[in-house]
Structure 1
């Protein structure tokens, strides 16, 4: 595993997400990844296995899913991405804001702002 900047890690996971490449997507995250709701820190997902199952199901149910980067802010070991999500099977579009906390190799924590 090679060292990466926070921005490189965020971009790598976004590219894999848009390509529905589940293994490449999951490689960017640590084994103990935690996904939380911003503000409450309520845990939505914990551990790479649960993470992989969740996103694999999402990709299978929404084969046209796409996240377009609207804005990205990088500060230290945190990346904040604002994305416009399209391609859901139900036809709904949405906005998403994710905050990624990274180490030199992978994403450790994610917060979603709802």
Structure 2
């Protein structure tokens, strides 16, 4: 049974906060695309690159935590607004991510820059 788009967004956020890289990546397609919004510039693609990026992020910020402030879902798109705290640089950050779900996994992510 496939998870709903909202369940996938929750799954990856919960795994992110546990810094469980395998559970985190299991929500994403193997050829996931991570892009900037609104330019749509490709930041990187592929599960292997995502593993590298987030493994390094978790290692550099072991106390980092993303608190969900708001979540909106429509059809196969979920938009999360988060407050990220506990970063090594001690600067809290607001983040907005849009997730497109296709074939039971997150296929594209846009981060608002």
- TM category (shorter chain) comes to over 0.9
Match of 1:4 in 2: 3
User: Where does 1:27-42 land on structure 2 (aligned, <5 Å)?
Assistant: 27-42=26-41
Match of 2:110 in 1: 111
TM-score (norm 1): 0.97
Write the distance in 2 (CA, Å) between the matches of 1:29 and 1:38.
19
Count how many residue pairs are aligned between Structure 1 and Structure 2: 113
Q: Secondary structure at the match of 1:91?
A: coil
- The gaps in structure 2 that reach 5 residues or longer are none
Q: Secondary structure at the match of 1:97?
A: strand
Q: Secondary structure at the match of 2:23?
A: helix
Are 2:73 and 1:74 aligned?
yes
Q: Which runs of 4+ in 1 moved over 3 A?
A: none
Q: Secondary structure at the match of 1:88?
A: coil
